[in-house]
């Protein structure tokens, strides 16, 4: 998973509030998005219960593509652009984008993996007798590595940056420290997405 947040310039003050930077009001988890997430997860449950090829392929491919594209685009395109923005512009973008990512990324990841597992059961590709089983196991390992980094480092940093920005006097050093952790994690998961693309296209072509 890759998200974005504020990275302060190297000459940022070492403590105290963000100097003269207005912060828009925002919700860390946008409540308006929760019904949409609920509908998507309900659709996932229906697809798993129905166990039909098309809904499972649709959910796995559509959400998997969204996951990969978001990771690569946010990590390697929007991230570098954001670093060149002024601090107020970065804060504006962060407080509008990152709360949405708090909902979007876990949903996209859950749907991709659950639909993918059910699809593998239906098609028999998760069976150890499948002729490309080694590639399937490789995908488990890559996704496992991404999950550990995303769950342990990236997502907590995402939430922590938002909580810090909601404080009356956000600490620039805290934000900078969390962002350093965040950017390294995002680079790692973005690179892993390239490996997922290689594995999935190899499996698809047989």
Partner 1 sequence: MSERALPPVTELGMASLALIVAGGIYLVSYLPRQVPLMPAVVLLAASVLLLAVNLFTLSRVKGFAWRRFFEVGKWALLAYVIVAGLIEFALVRDGMGGGPLLVVTLSLLVYAVHVPVLTAFTVAQYE
Residues that bind partner 1 (CB under 8 A): 14-15, 29, 41, 44-45, 48-49, 51, 106, 110, 113-114, 117-118, 121, 126-128, 133, 137, 140-141, 144, 147-149, 151-153, 155-157, 159-160, 163-164, 171, 173-174, 177-178
Is-contact 75 2, C-beta < 8 A?
Answer: yes
Closest CA to 98 of 154, 180, 20: 154
* Least Å from the CB of residue 121 to partner 1: 5
Within 13 A of 51's CA, how many CA atoms are on the CB side?
A: 7
* Least Å from the CB of residue 84 to partner 1: 25
| Nearer residue to partner 1 within complex by CB, 45 or 77 | 45
| Nearer residue to partner 1 within complex by CB, 170 or 190 | 170
- Report the alpha-carbon distance of residue 20 to residue 17 in Å, rounded: 9
What is 50-89 written as a DSSP string? HT-HHHHHHHHHHHHHHHHHHHHHIIIIIHHHHHTS-HHH
- Report the alpha-carbon distance of residue 47 to residue 38 in Å, rounded: 14
* Least Å from the CB of residue 157 to partner 1: 6
* Least Å from the CB of residue 93 to partner 1: 21
Residues near 130 by beta carbon (within 8 Å), at least 6 away in sequence = 124, 136
* Least Å from the CB of residue 109 to partner 1: 9
- Report the alpha-carbon distance of residue 117 to residue 126 in Å, rounded: 8
| Nearer residue to partner 1 within complex by CB, 85 or 195 | 195
| Nearer residue to partner 1 within complex by CB, 29 or 65 | 29
| Nearer residue to partner 1 within complex by CB, 74 or 114 | 114
């Amino acid at each position: 998973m890759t998200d974005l947040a504020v990275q302060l310039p190297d000459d940022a003050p070492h403590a105290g509030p963000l100097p003269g930077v207005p912060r828009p009001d925002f919700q860390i988890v946008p409540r308006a998005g929760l019904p949409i997430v609920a509908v998507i997860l309900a659709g996932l449950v229906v697809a798993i219960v129905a166990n039909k090829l098309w809904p499972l392929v649709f959910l796995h491919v559509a959400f998997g593509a969204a996951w990969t594209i978001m990771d690569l685009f946010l990590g390697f395109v929007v991230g570098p652009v954001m670093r060149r923005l002024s601090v107020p512009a970065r804060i504006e973008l962060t407080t509008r984008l990152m709360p949405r990512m708090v909902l979007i990324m876990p949903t996209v990841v859950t749907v991709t993996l659950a639909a993918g597992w059910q699809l593998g059961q239906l098609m028999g590709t998760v069976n150890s007798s499948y002729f490309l089983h080694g590639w399937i196991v490789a995908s488990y390992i890559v996704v496992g590595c991404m999950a550990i980094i995303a769950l342990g480092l990236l997502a907590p940093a995402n939430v922590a940056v938002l909580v810090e920005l909601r404080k009356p006097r956000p600490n620039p050093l805290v934000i900078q420290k969390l962002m350093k952790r965040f950017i390294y994690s995002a680079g790692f998961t973005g690179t892993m997405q390239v490996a997922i693309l290689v594995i999935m296209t190899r499996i698809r072509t047989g």
